[in-house]
Amino acid sequence: MNLRTIRAGVLTSCLLVLGAPVWLAGADAGSGNSRKPAKAAETRVVKPEPLEKPDPTVVPGGSVSGPGLTFLGKNERGFEEYRNDKDGQVLVLIPGGVFEIGKKEAEDTARKATREKLAPYLIGKYEVSWKQYNRFWKETKRAAPGTPWWEPAEDHPVVNVSWNDAVAYLDWAGLRLPTMAEWEYAARGPEHHLFPWGSKLDLEKEGYRFNGLSGEEEEPDGYIRTAPVDSFPKGQSYFGCHHFLGNVWELSADYFPEWAGDEDEVSQSGAIVPRHEIRRPRSIMGGSWNLPADDLYIMECWGLSPVIMEVDVGFRAALTP
Ligand SMILES: [Ca+2]
C-alpha cells in the first residue's frame, strides 16, 4: 500500500491373558436370543498386533491442550509450537507477563508507550499463505482475492484481502487476529528490539534478514515482491516467528490509535473511496516488501479501512489457549 491508501460391537467375548487376546468361541453376551450355549469353551490364541509406530510430528507434553491443536514440540529457541489442525497453521506459545508496548526507540511511531499485561497466547509462526487462504474461500464459497500481477506461489503470504476477509478466514479456522500488543511483544521480544532479531541492522555486513524494497533493479534480498512465508530464517524473532518485519503488512484486531487523515482515500484499483464511507481504520503492522529496506523497523504501524485490500497487506493468526 502506499501512504495515500491509509489505511474432531465391542468384542464382548475377547479376554486378555498374559497380554495376548484370547477368544472364547461361542460365549454369549447374554442377549436372550435363541442361540444354543456351546458345550465347552474353546480357546484360540491370537498373536498380538505389532505396535504402531508413533507419528514423529505428534509429541505429547505441551502445556496447552484444546480441540484441534496438536503439540509439535519446542522450536530451536525453546518455545512450544502447535499445529492448528483446521488450516495447518503453526502457532508459537508466547508466555504472558507485563510489558511496555509502544516504547519509542525510534522516531515516527504512531503509538504511545503503555504498560500491558498479557496472558499467555499463541501467535502464527508465519503469515497466512495463499495455500491456506485458497482452501478457505473454495470451501466457504467466499469471493477469491484478486491475484497480484506477479502471480505469487502458494507458499507466499496471501494479499488482497480486507480486514473483514481476514476475520472471516480466522473464524473458519477457529483462530483470531492478534491485538497490537500481542503482535508487538511477539515481534520485539522482552528486550523491546527494534527488529525481530535485535536492535541493529547492517544490511551489507549481515545480509538480508527480511524482505523489503531496495530500489535496485535486482533485489539483493532475492525477492522483488513477496517471499515464501518460511523464508529469511536469520530474521526470526526472539520467539522464532518469521517475517514480523517486511514481506507483508499484517492486520491487527485493534483500531488504529491515531487517525489524522482527513482526505478521501485512493484504493489500489484507483477508485476514490469517499471519506464518509471509510469505516474506522484498523492497525496494520511491520511494513512490507513495498517499503524501503533501510527505513523499515518493527514499530511501523499504519491504519487501513476494514474494507480495503492491498497488494502488500496480509495477516497472521493468534489464539487464546
Ligand atoms: Ca510481515
Over residues 69-125, the pLDDT tens digits come to 999 999 999 999 999 999 999 999 999 888 887 765 545 445 567 788 899 999 999
Quick check: helix, strand or coil at residue 186?
A: helix
- Tell how far the Cα of 13 is from the centroid of ligand 1, in angstroms: 59
- Tell how far the Cα of 128 is from the centroid of ligand 1, in angstroms: 10
Percentage with pLDDT > 90 across the chain = 46
Contact 250, 285 (CB under 8 A): yes
Label the pairing between strands 313-314 and 249-255: parallel
- Tell how far the Cα of 107 is from the centroid of ligand 1, in angstroms: 20
Query: What is the pLDDT averaged over residues 289-303?
Result: 84
- Tell how far the Cα of 248 is from the centroid of ligand 1, in angstroms: 4
- Please name the helix (run of DSSP H) or strand (run of DSSP E) that holds residue 203, with its range, or none: helix 203-206
Look at residue 284 in the predicted model and tell me its pLDDT: 94
Q: Which residues surround ligand 1, an ion (CB under 5 A)?
A: 243, 247, 286
Over residues 223-239, the pLDDT tens digits come to 889 999 999 999 999 99
Q: Is 291 left (phi over 0), alpha (psi -120 to 50) or beta?
A: beta
Residue type for position 251: L
Over residues 189-230, the pLDDT tens digits come to 988 888 898 888 777 766 678 888 877 777 777 888 999 999
Look at residue 32 in the predicted model and tell me its pLDDT: 39
- CA-to-CA separations, 123 to 1, 155, 252, 277, in angstroms, rounded: 24, 18, 12, 32
Look at residue 79 in the predicted model and tell me its pLDDT: 95
- Tell how far the Cα of 170 is from the centroid of ligand 1, in angstroms: 17
- Tell how far the Cα of 22 is from the centroid of ligand 1, in angstroms: 59
Domains of the chain: 69-319 (3.90.1580.10)
Query: What is the pLDDT averaged over residues 25-52?
Result: 47
Query: What is the pLDDT averaged over residues 137-149?
Result: 95
Q: Is the pTM of this model over 0.85?
A: no
Query: What is the pLDDT averaged over residues 142-162?
Result: 96
- Tell how far the Cα of 15 is from the centroid of ligand 1, in angstroms: 58
Look at residue 277 in the predicted model and tell me its pLDDT: 53
- Tell how far the Cα of 271 is from the centroid of ligand 1, in angstroms: 26
- Nearest alpha-carbon partner for 294 in 205, 196, 217, 213: 213
Look at residue 162 in the predicted model and tell me its pLDDT: 94
pLDDT of 16 strictly over 90: no
pLDDT of 175 strictly over 80: yes
- Cβ-based neighbour number of residue 54 at 10 Å: 9
Indicate the range of 134-138, 144-148, 198-202 predicted with least confidence: 198-202
Over residues 233-288, the pLDDT tens digits come to 999 999 999 999 999 999 999 888 765 455 555 555 566 665 555 667 889 999 99
- Tell how far the Cα of 317 is from the centroid of ligand 1, in angstroms: 12
Query: What is the pLDDT averaged over residues 160-164?
Result: 95
- Tell how far the Cα of 129 is from the centroid of ligand 1, in angstroms: 12
pLDDT of 133 strictly over 50: yes
- Tell how far the Cα of 211 is from the centroid of ligand 1, in angstroms: 9
> What is the rounded average pLDDT for all residues in the chain?
78
- Tell how far the Cα of 242 is from the centroid of ligand 1, in angstroms: 8
- Tell how far the Cα of 69 is from the centroid of ligand 1, in angstroms: 24
pLDDT of 29 strictly over 50: no
pLDDT of 8 strictly over 90: no
Look at residue 66 in the predicted model and tell me its pLDDT: 82
- Tell how far the Cα of 82 is from the centroid of ligand 1, in angstroms: 20
Quick check: helix, strand or coil at residue 106?
A: coil
Look at residue 22 in the predicted model and tell me its pLDDT: 33
Rg of the chain on CA atoms, in Å: 26
Comparison of pLDDT for 45 and 40, the residue scoring more: 45
Whole-number Å distance between alpha carbons of 65 and 268: 42
Whole-number Å distance between alpha carbons of 227 and 289: 9
